[in-house]
Amino acid sequence: MAELLRVEGLKSGYGEAVVVQGVDLALEPGASLALLGRNGTGKTTLLNTLVGATRRHAGRIVLDGRDLTTLPSYKRAAAGIGWVPQERNIFKSLTVHENLTAVARPGPWTVERAYEMFPRLAERRTNLGSNLSGGEQQMLAVARALVLNPKLLLLDEPLEGLAPIIVEELLRSIARVVRDEGMSAIIVEQNPRMILPITKRAVVLDRGAVVHEGESEALLREPAQLEAWLSVAKH
């Protein structure tokens, strides 16, 4: 099968500081990848590099046959990268509906379909972004990325800091998008046991380099190895 994403020898960081150390990655169309690692191992930097928000020192990024390596962020978005950063970056001075319609592009993910995915947003479509709860803002950030109809969805710790009931709701939605509907995605998440069951493959970073790549299901069956890499609890 042809690759959707290929990353070759990627080194990147901020200024002269190199955080990502020669990463190679490949992702097939319709596949989802859990990007795991302790805090500070380069997960967010890697996503930021894919969208063009860091300094690249070496390597290539190819999406659906198109070399994105030297393109600015807005051209990468136009080429098919949808990004939900940790900061969410919604337009707080616009309503929910305006946030979605301002960026929507033709494709299967329409604004109305986003409302069906997130009924809370439909109920608050006239509310300003600044008047939403943290969980609702995260739902809006994900919905806004979906209505771009991207080829590749990047989610940077989408469940971080949210109430448990919101985590469950958002996780169900993400699972539907990436597992049931086949959206290609890379998901960074601190809790591997939340994200591994809904992704196909997993990559573990340590000190900016890939130390493991394999099937998500297989990694779930190795709790001792998970703890060694991630210092996670076994429960």
Tell me what pLDDT residue 197 has: 95
Whether the full predicted model's pTM is greater than 0.75, yes or no, is yes
| Cβ pair 153, 183 in contact under 8 A | yes
Same domain, yes or no, for 76 and 156? yes
Q: Is residue 158 part of a domain?
A: yes
Q: How many CA atoms lie within 13 A of 53 on its CB side?
A: 12
Same domain, yes or no, for 23 and 50? yes
Same domain, yes or no, for 133 and 163? no
Instruction: State residue 141 phi and psi, 5-degree precision.
Output: -60, -40
- For the sheet with 55-63, list strands across it: 17-27, 5-14, 55-63, 66-67
* Of 133, 149, 165, the domain-final residue: 149
Same domain, yes or no, for 155 and 220? yes
* Residues 69, 195: Cα–Cα separation, whole Å: 28
Q: Which runs of E-coded beta strand occur in the chain?
A: 5-14, 17-27, 32-36, 55-63, 66-67, 81-84, 152-156, 185-188, 201-206, 209-215
Tell me what pLDDT residue 107 has: 95
CATH number of the domain that residue 222 is part of: 3.40.50.300
Same domain, yes or no, for 48 and 160? yes
* Of 149, 172, 196, the domain-final residue: 149
Same domain, yes or no, for 181 and 68? yes
Tell me what pLDDT residue 223 has: 87
Domain that holds residue 70: 5-80+150-230
SS3 99: helix
Tell me what pLDDT residue 1 has: 57
How many structural domains does the chain have?
Answer: 2
* Of 117, 149, 181, the domain-final residue: 149
Same domain, yes or no, for 56 and 21? yes
Rg (CA), the chain: 17
| Cβ pair 84, 145 in contact under 8 A | yes
Tell me what pLDDT residue 227 has: 86
Same domain, yes or no, for 75 and 182? yes
Question: In a structure prediction context, what are the per-residue pLDDT tens digits for the chain, which is 235 residues long?
Answer: 589 999 999 999 999 999 999 999 999 999 999 999 999 999 999 999 999 999 999 999 999 999 999 999 999 999 999 999 999 999 999 999 999 999 999 999 999 999 999 999 999 999 999 999 999 999 999 999 999 999 999 999 999 999 999 999 999 999 999 998 999 999 998 889 999 999 999 999 999 999 999 999 999 999 888 888 887 444 3
Tell me what pLDDT residue 228 has: 86
Same domain, yes or no, for 93 and 181? no
Same domain, yes or no, for 109 and 93? yes
Same domain, yes or no, for 162 and 219? yes
Q: Is residue 235 part of a domain?
A: no
